[in-house]
A and B are shown apart, each in its own frame.
Chain A
Amino acid sequence: MAELGHDATSYAPPREQPEMELPHSHSWWTTYVFSQDAKTIAIQYSVTAISVGLFAMFLSIMIRLQLGFPNTFSLIDPSSYLQYVTMHGMIMVVYLLTALFLGGFGNYFIPLMIGARDMAFPYLNMLSFWFYFVSVLVLMASFFVPGGPTGAGWTLYPPQLISEGTPGIHGGVIFMMVSLGIFIIGFTMGGLNYIVTILQYRTRGMTLMRMPLTIWGIFLATMLALLAFPALLVAALMVLLDHLAGTSFFMPTMFSMGEQLPHEGGSPLLFQHLFWFFGHPEVYIVALPAFGVVSDILATHARRNIFGYRMMVWALVAIGGLSFVVWAHHMYVSGMNPYFGFLFATTTLIIAVPTAIKVYNWVLTLWHGNIRLELPMLFAIGFIFTFINGGMSGLFLGNVTVDVPLADTYFVVGHFHMVMALAPVMTIYAAIYHWYPKITGRMLHEGMGKIHFWVTFVGAYAIFYPMHYLGLAGVPRRYFAYGETSPFIGESVQHLNAFITVAAVLVAAAQLLFIYNLIRSRKHGKEAGPNPWNATTLEWQTEHTPPTHGNFGKELPVVYRWPYDYSVPGAKYDFIPQNVPPEEVEMADEGAVRT
């Protein structure tokens, strides 16, 4: 009886591929700046993304200050308010979440978790980061051009986007589109690497169905990104031409400021279709890696195998596939053919099926688990809460008849912040607390982390829950001040807005504490050791912590089991790493199972 755990057959066929060509660095520049080591690139990606994310958080505070205490801050005028709203949305969705999940986590964990030495094409990987970096610089540069960045909202709808009267139409729009273009080119380079590495560079014994769910999430999200970003790229090109070359892709015949514009016959709806063909998969580009990461963290910290691994994988695949046929549910009030609404409401509600499977499986993973409320676990459970809440309000917005009165109100803002902002951000924190010990060799400070979690979790509910109420009360989104609509908006709204703003400031302060924790623990954190959480996946089994270039020392690990052999009955320890052969599993003494 030496074979313990799931699927513990001794299966390790000979190597199929020669060793990977590793470009070793020879100077300071190629080690730290133009590095081709996926781990360094991952850290570069993460630091850039988190910095730009902090900036976007600062913008959100500016938005909240105006809404909570109107006419108090002379710094914020209507144009700059719209610009803050636009840049906050765009930065958070694309430049923080997409870049951090795929560029940051993807680069670090794909090679480590599948037992590869590096990405398939390290040079392209490096180029990918530098394109991303330049795209961030271009985006930031738009704050310094005359007129500032664009203020058309992150959805960038024409004709408003490039019509007189919208902030930033002279420079900001161009910078935004160029920046998106560079981002997409850079991301494509990275994305090709992630997928090919996962498909072609797994170690011996690592079948697709033995991959940690984190890798599944990143794999499918990258696939979605490679197919969805083209629509945005094309839309950005066409908008640029409409703006600069006077074409009429999206610009209909229209009058502006009493004059007829030179455009005629374009279709603004086409832009919305293109944008949301990108925009909806984008939600899942952010969500799928989060699903994967949360699955792994829940299993590790509940000391229990993930419930229904295969179902989890197929649910990810199903969500990824369905995400391409639901885009027009963002457009119920756009004036498209109403029959479309019926079709897209149906597909939208079908997505609830695989999503519900995932939520049930997470909860069932916790059932009878040996739950340890360590920091990553707190955030992962926080994710389940916010994701369920956000998903529930999604049911309202997915139905045409309910959506029409709620469209463009704070209900929508509350919904998507719950499901697409809070849930992934919770996961990011969970992931950082979970993997920081591997990346730096030191633990993050527990006390500061607890404060960070509770302020963020409770505070985020204080911010976004009232927004649902505001939306039902009819408060429109993206308004600088309510002006003539005031008579229709109850007085309580202002009190609630002030409350939300105070909560937002507190939550933002907690994030600064987290950043301080990150920096401080780098030097002064507790030594972590190679495997502080007693986890099973390959990244915890490396020879060095943090892993060196090439990841695994002389021999690549051989995988004998799935990544979730926790609390296997009969085994001495409550976890069996993936690379432990069946005959080497230590057995428990008679009647004394250690947990």
Chain B
Amino acid sequence: MAESASQETPPPGFTGMISDWSSDQTTFKGAGWGKPMMWLFILSDIFIFGVFLLGYMSARLATPDPWPDAAEVFALTMFGVQVPLLLIAIMTFILISSSGTMALAVKYGYERNRKICGRLILATATLGAIFVGMQVFEWTILIMDGVRPWANPWGASQFGATFFLITGFHGTHVTIGVIALLYMYRKVMRGDLDDGRPGAITGRKGRWEMVEILGLYWHFVDLVWVFIFAFFYLW
């Protein structure tokens, strides 16, 4: 039968997509429920960040006051020299690196290499935590410079408002990710994913797929940072 043949080797490209969507049972073959759910959540979250950034652009265009110069505001004085965007460059580097360790963790997860996978997850969590720590440092500097949500020394008050709101919202995402990563580290190291031990809260059995799902979230949070970086620091 054509049906059974198509299940073994799915037809490529567009034809394959059509046959998946017109099939019964599952639309995303072999993907289970967790991964589609995370993708869908990401789609919804994209709209949240999209609306945030559009709101930011709109506020920036609408305000009659001058917008503070990013190169000046975000400069760090090192050894008496003002280096623009130094801190943010390091932060971005760290967060992007954490995506690398996460991708490796997923790879070793699928190879059932518990130890290395766990360590890589821990490394990702550490990098994420460092990122959040540096963000706290950055906020502290700005607050000491006199930036407030309702005013700042250089111009439009919307600068502080959008900056704290959007980076804060992103930072919350990273923090939640770090907590989830630490929890996953414990699960991986204890072998929950191998023996399908039920989770403490939801009671769902441990599966190696969970590492990849968490990875999707983590990469998404990193990608959002790229846009925030571009819109806040380079514009």
Contact = CB atoms under 8 A, between A and B. Distances in A.
Interface of A: 11, 13, 15-17, 21, 23, 120-121, 123-124, 188, 191-193, 195-197, 199-210, 226-227, 229-231, 233-235, 237-238, 241, 245-249, 262, 264-267, 270, 273-274, 277, 559
A192 B24 contact: no
A16 B29 contact: yes
A445 B48 CA distance: 46
B223 interface: no
Interface in B128-162: 149-150, 156-158, 160-162
B40 A274 contact: no
A302 B186 CA distance: 59
A559 B24 CA distance: 9
Interface in B158-214: 158, 160-162, 165, 201-205
Interface residues of B, number: 48
B158 A16 contact: no
Interface string B31-47: 11100110011011101
Q: Which of A121, A192, A196, A241 is the most central at the interface, judged by chain B CB atoms within 10 Å of its CB?
A: A196
B158 A202 contact: no
A193 B31 CA distance: 15
B15 interface: no
A407 B52 CA distance: 30
A535 B153 CA distance: 70
Contacts of B25: 13, 15-17, 200-204, 206
Contact of B33 (A121, A233, A234, A262): A121
Interface stretch (B59-67, B68-76, B110-118): B59-67
Nearest to A15: B25
A13 B7 contact: yes
Contacts of B26: 16-17, 199-202
Contacts of B37: 120-121, 192-193, 196
Interface of B: 3-4, 7, 21-29, 31-33, 36-37, 40-41, 43-45, 47-48, 50-52, 55, 58-59, 62-65, 149-150, 156-158, 160-162, 165, 201-205
Contact of A233 (B29, B32, B48): B48
A492 B31 CA distance: 65
A234 B48 contact: yes
Given A205-B24, A208-B27, A230-B48, A200 B33 contact: yes
Contacts of A238: 55, 165
B183 to A, nearest CB: 15
A241 B161 contact: yes
27 contacts: A11-B24, A13-B4, A13-B24, A16-B26, A23-B203, A121-B202, A123-B202, A123-B203, A196-B36, A200-B25, A200-B33, A201-B25, A201-B33, A204-B24, A206-B24, A208-B22, A208-B27, A210-B24, A230-B45, A233-B48, A234-B52, A235-B51, A245-B149, A245-B150, A247-B150, A248-B161, A249-B158
A191 B40 CA distance: 9
A266 B161 CA distance: 11
Given A200-B26, A265-B158, A21 B204 contact: yes
Contacts, number: 153
Contacts of A23: 203
Contact of A209 (B22, B36, B202): B22
Contacts of B202: 121, 123-124
Contacts of A234: 48, 51-52, 55
Contacts of B204: 21, 121, 123
Nearest to B169: A237
A210 B39 CA distance: 25
A247 B23 contact: no
A270 B201 contact: no
Contacts of A237: 165
Nearest to A123: B202
Given A21-B204, A241-B161, A246-B149, 14 more contacts: A13-B24, A13-B25, A120-B33, A124-B202, A200-B31, A202-B24, A206-B25, A230-B51, A234-B51, A246-B150, A248-B150, A248-B161, A265-B156, A266-B63
Q: Which of B24, B48, B50, B157 is the most central at the interface, judged by chain A CB atoms within 10 Å of its CB?
A: B24
B58 A267 contact: yes
Contacts of A199: 26-28, 36
Contacts of A120: 33, 37
- List of 7 A-B pairs having minimum Cβ-Cβ separation, nearest first: A247-B161, A246-B150, A265-B63, A230-B47, A120-B33, A230-B48, A267-B62
Contacts of A11: 3, 24
Contacts of A200: 25-28, 31-33, 36
A248 to B, nearest CB: 6
Contact of A247 (B27, B31, B157): B157
Nearest to A559: B24
A226 B202 CA distance: 23
B52 A188 contact: no
B40 A226 contact: yes
A274 B55 CA distance: 9
A208 B26 CA distance: 10
A277 B51 CA distance: 10
Nearest to A16: B25
B55 A21 contact: no
B157 A226 contact: no
Contact of B43 (A17, A201, A210, A226): A226
Contacts of B24: 11, 13, 202-207, 210, 559
Contacts of A249: 55, 59, 158, 161-162
Contact of B41 (A16, A188, A241, A267): A188
A209 B3 CA distance: 17
